[in-house]
Amino acid sequence: MSEQNIPNPRDPRETPTYVVNQPIEGPRKPTEQHQKNEVILGSITWALILIWAGLVFLASNFGWLNAIQVSTTLPAGLEFIGLGTWSLIFLGAGVLIFIESLLSTFVPSLRSNNSGNYFLAAIFLGIGFSSIFGWDLIWPLVLIFLGLSALASALIKRK
């Protein structure tokens, strides 16, 4: 019969240690504080969008938007259509949602899956810029932006 190495239960050097109830590595569930931070950031963003829309409507009602002169000298093939109230509102909303998406991508305490926010930002920016430059230029740029944001979301490690 062959000799077996059986640990002596009285010798602590030979006693096997077992880890019980150790969490399995994998996607971590967001903590309650993380969820609160995410909700607060989203609430602040939508509040800023409403404030921005109110400021744009106010500027439009007082004729301040007409006073803004935009240079119409653009490269060949590009045409400046116009700068309207709704295009400014959508541009501002798109920029604010894009900033929120960047924050929730790069700030560890705010990290979340924000591909929907990138999509919404691209759509709002596309609507805003399309009324200025036209869909012929903007539609391909929206697709490129969405592809880049999906690539960035896939490459950034989540903790």
Domain of 46? 37-155
Residue 2 lies in a domain: no
Residue 30 lies in a domain: no
| Half-sphere exposure in the Cβ direction for 2 (13 Å, CA) | 2
> What integer is the mean pLDDT of 51-80?
76
Say if residue 117's pLDDT is above 60. yes
Residue 112 lies in a domain: yes
**CB-based contacts of 42: which residues, under 8 Å, 6+ apart?**
100
The structural domain count of the chain equals 1
What is the Cα Rg of the chain in Å?
27
**CB-based contacts of 8: which residues, under 8 Å, 6+ apart?**
14, 15
Say if residue 37's pLDDT is above 80. no
Residue 19 lies in a domain: no
Residue 41 lies in a domain: yes
Residue 90 lies in a domain: yes
Say if residue 27's pLDDT is above 60. no
- In this prediction the pTM is 0.67
Predicted local confidence at residue 159, as pLDDT: 47
Residue 46 lies in a domain: yes
Residue 13 lies in a domain: no
Contact between 128 and 53 under an 8 Å Cβ cutoff? The reply is no
Helix residue ranges, H only, 8-159 = 32-61, 64-67, 85-106, 115-133, 135-155
